[in-house]
Amino acid sequence: MELIVLWDIDHTLIENAGVSKEIYAAAFSSLAGREPSAPARTEGRTDRLIMRDMFLRDGLPVPEWSVIEAALAQAGHDRLDDLRLRGTALPGVHEVLKAAAARSGWVSSVLTGNIAANAHMKLSAFGLDSLLDLPAGAYGADAELRPELVAVARERIQQLLGVPADVPVVLVGDTPRDVEAALATGSAILAVASGVHSAEELAAAGAHEILPDLSDTRRVLGILESFSGT
């Protein structure tokens, strides 16, 4: 049984309690010299898109990506304690990630709109980083559009772990963009209604397997196993 499982982070594995939007605002302010006119629009978008749109919305030139990424990483580093204090791992996440990591033939990593530094920060805040193969994942600096991240993760997993190109991929996420990324790339999708999007919204986006959260480890693993093709 072989399977690649790629987990979203915010509102799928963790609740960031508003810290994410504070990171974007702080990164913007450090580069623009003033606060943004409105909060960042996230909703499953990549950091590249989120930050670019903040500058364009405020009528400012968009800095080089390397400069933006450094500002995001610094803002994330500065808010680790805030995240630990206010945020939390979502119900069942520790258990399901441990179980997935223990499965022979499975690769369990991330597909997230966060840059790698902030993805690591968020996961480490709640002791989740050691339960995932993070070097094999795909991050918000790797592409602008979420579907493009699937190919990035596949290539990394092939190069780092020698996993064949035809091994099935399943995305686990909480937004219609997670669903759309799966459908656009021929991947499976397990949607969780643990964020702002309801089960009905996720179904309308095309998800067939939808759970309220990841608290039922046996059920989650059963759904993931059904995507393995064995």
pTM (predicted TM-score): 0.96
Token couple for 141: 């600096």
Q: What pLDDT band is residue 79 in, cutting at 50, 70 and 90?
A: very high
Average pLDDT of the chain to the nearest whole number: 96
**Residue 1 confidence (pLDDT) above 90:** no
What tokens does 119 get? 């993805």
Collapsing DSSP states into helix, strand and coil, what is residue 5?
strand
Length of the chain: 230
Phi-psi group of 210: left, alpha or beta (phi > 0 → left; psi -120 to 50 → alpha; rest → beta)? beta
Q: What angle do CA 45, 8, 74 make, to 5 degrees?
A: 65
- Under the banding of pLDDT at 50, 70 and 90, the label for residue 43 is confident
Mean pLDDT over 181-202 rounds to 97
Taking the C-alpha atoms of residue 101 and residue 61, their distance in angstroms, rounded to an integer, is 43
Residue 230 has pLDDT above 60, yes or no: no
